[in-house]
Amino acid sequence: MTDRPVCDYEGSNYQDDFWGKGEREYEDRAEQIALKAMLPKAGGLFLEIGAGAGRQTPLLKNFDHVVLMDYSRTQLEQARERLGTSTRYTFVAANVYQLPFKPRVFSAAMMIRVMHHLVEPLAALKEIKSTLAEGGAFILEFANKQNLKSILRYALRQQSWSPFSPEPVEFVKLNFDFHPQTMRQWIREAGFEIKAQRSVSHYRIGALKKIVPPTLLAALDGAVQPTGEWIQFAPSVFIKAEVRSQESGVRSKSPRDESNLHAKRPTSIFVCPICKGELQKESDYFQCSACGKKWGIRNGIYDFKEAL
């Protein structure tokens, strides 16, 4: 489907192994504080990119309908087990570089702990922007190469790469840290306007997490997160952006109005991820009327990861 390498969590028990053992409760709580501050209060159709097992999905309770999208079918199956089979949720396996969604169908979207796996962030940002209604909000998180720990290690000559240089650094295969200025440039180039920034997980230090309760540590983190508007030295940065208006100062409909119809009929949002052609729905698959490719529906998951 694409020549770009994609980090695949297929078969992984990431939710339990990474988040479920309690060692990252502080980070989880700190991220929730940031999201609660930045997410729209309500909306129509919401896209959660890299939803995984649905760790953050409960925060989206005020949206009419939530599409959980992930490249891993395993993660989506775990999300269905966690969230149940409510008609408020649609589960979609897809590639962020080739989204299977019609233009401007979502009122808002978020992508948390995904950007650091992307080899071409700008291409992904442009693809995401195309699915959002005018004025639609997009919350994203990225790993910050210009964090205090990296600066200290660089000063002590314990790492070769500079935290101040603009290019991304791949510290492990398909794991990247980004410079905040470079990320802001890409976001604007993709057609977004930056509305807010937060620095998150300032106290991601093993020894500190062992002696300070995670609730207190997260509360302290939440108190300093707004400093991200001016300076970003934490290992994680959250940005709230909006799709720029086509005409300066003019907005036709609200993002929620644009997505209400699709929230009521979520299967109407899909197009072929390869050619963007119209899809015809059969009992257990979609078929593209333009290129003829077929896309399966398996165990309640709309599977656009690989054609049948």
Place of tokens 């001016």: 230
31 found inside a domain: yes
Confirm whether 295 is domain-assigned: yes
Residues 193 and 284 in one domain: no
86 and 206 part of one domain: yes
What Å distances lie between residue 47 and 73, 81, 110, 137, 147, CA to CA? 17, 19, 7, 10, 29
CATH number of the CATH domain containing 208: 3.40.50.150
Residue 148, domain member (yes or no): yes
Check whether residue 148 and residue 203 sit in a common domain: yes
Domain that holds residue 274: 270-308
In a domain, 3, yes or no: no
Return the ∠ at Cα 33 (arms to 167 and 20), rounded to 5°: 85
pLDDT for 84: 86
Q: Would residue 7 count as lying in a domain? A: no
Same domain, 18 and 39: yes
Residue 275 lies in a domain: yes
Do 99 and 188 belong to one domain?
A: yes
Please state, in angstroms and rounded to a whole number, the distance separating the CA atoms of residues 62 and 46: 10
What per-residue confidence (pLDDT) applies to 219? Answer: 97
Q: Which residues of the chain have pLDDT under 70?
A: 1-2, 247-266
Q: What is the pLDDT of residue 157?
A: 95
Say how many domains are in the chain.
2
303 and 194, same structural domain? no
Check residue 107 and give its pLDDT: 94
> What's the pTM?
0.93
pLDDT score at 2: 62
Whether residues 288 and 201 share a domain: the answer is no
Q: Tell me, yes or no, whether 294 and 243 share the same domain.
A: no
Convert the pLDDT of each residue in 215-261 to its tens digit. 999 999 999 999 999 999 999 999 999 998 875 454 555 665 556 65
Q: Is residue 6 part of a domain?
A: no
**5 is a domain residue:** no
167 contact partners, CB below 8 Å, separation of at least 6: 179, 182
Same domain? For 152 and 222 the reply is yes
| Residue whose C-alpha is closest to residue 78's, from 308, 299, 304 | 299
Could you tell me the strand order of the sheet in which 63-70 lies? Answer: 192-200, 236-243, 132-143, 106-111, 43-49, 63-70, 89-93, 301-303, 294-298, 285-288, 279-281
Domain shared by 164 and 69, yes or no: yes
CB 133, CB 109: distance < 8 Å: no
Residues 288 and 242 grouped into a single domain: no
Do 281 and 251 lie in one domain? The reply is no
